Amino acid sequence: MSIAENVMNILKELPPGVRLLAATKSRSVEEILEAINAGVDLIGENYVQEALKKYEKIGKKVEWHFIGHLQKNKVKKALQIFDFIETVDNVELAKEIDKRAKNMDKIVFVMIEINSAKEPQKAGVMPEDAIDLADEIYSFEHLQLIGVMTMGPVVDKPEDIRPYFRKTKEIFDELRYIYGDEQIRYLSMGMTQTWRIAVEEGANIVRIGTGIFGPRKY
């Protein structure tokens, strides 16, 4: 199936209120534009340099979310493109984003990445530390906390990821209770293999790459 058909099929199946984020790492501008023409209005990129090149051609007609691992020395460049960063997992990074946002006189919308399976080598804050991190983020004037995101572990069967999505949803609910659901809006979880389970567990952003564009070449 074509990129456009994949997008339209996913959009048809998503319940109202759930947004499709096209995960576009390694995809060409042409491929991304095909997805946009079929209805994608939100894209996620993992690498700042790669995103900058694409941004020159695609521009502001879609919302750009940063979904990769953000190094502190890339924050300034990242903020030229991204108003949304889904992967904040430590206070030093939050502080750096706040500082750069202040210099640019803008507000950056951030989400906390949760290491929902507590995997030692993986990005994301431990679930038990998420509320404290939210508290610290809240104190930064140029950051606005708007939700949480998780990758979850690599699993054999999609169903096996459910407990980690459920755990992340609990943190989302707790943050909503503390900060209000006007402010805490997004629960970003689920990828090509697991997005249906994520939706069942309350996700309202699903991040899909392969399911739109086919297998990645690198």
State the residues that interact with ligand PLP by CB under 6 A.
23, 25, 46, 67, 151, 191-192, 207-211
Structure token pair of residue 198: 């994520």
Nearest approach, Cβ of 196 to ligand PLP (angstroms)? 12
151 vs 197 by CB, closer to ligand PLP? 151
- List own/partner pairs for 203-206 with CB under 8 A and 24 or more apart: 203/18, 203/165, 203/169, 204/17, 204/18, 204/19, 205/18, 205/19, 205/20, 205/21, 205/42, 205/147, 205/149, 206/14, 206/18, 206/19, 206/20, 206/21
Nearest approach, Cβ of 79 to ligand PLP (angstroms)? 19
163 vs 214 by CB, closer to ligand PLP? 214
Nearest approach, Cβ of 190 to ligand PLP (angstroms)? 8
21 vs 140 by CB, closer to ligand PLP? 21
Query: What is the DSSP pairing of strand 108-114 with strand 143-150?
Result: parallel
**CA Rg value for the chain:** 16
167 vs 207 by CB, closer to ligand PLP? 207
Nearest approach, Cβ of 111 to ligand PLP (angstroms)? 11
What is the SS3 assignment for 14?
coil
Residue 39 has, within 13 A of its CA and on its CB side, a CA count of 14
3 vs 140 by CB, closer to ligand PLP? 3
What is the SS3 assignment for 49?
helix
Nearest approach, Cβ of 9 to ligand PLP (angstroms)? 14
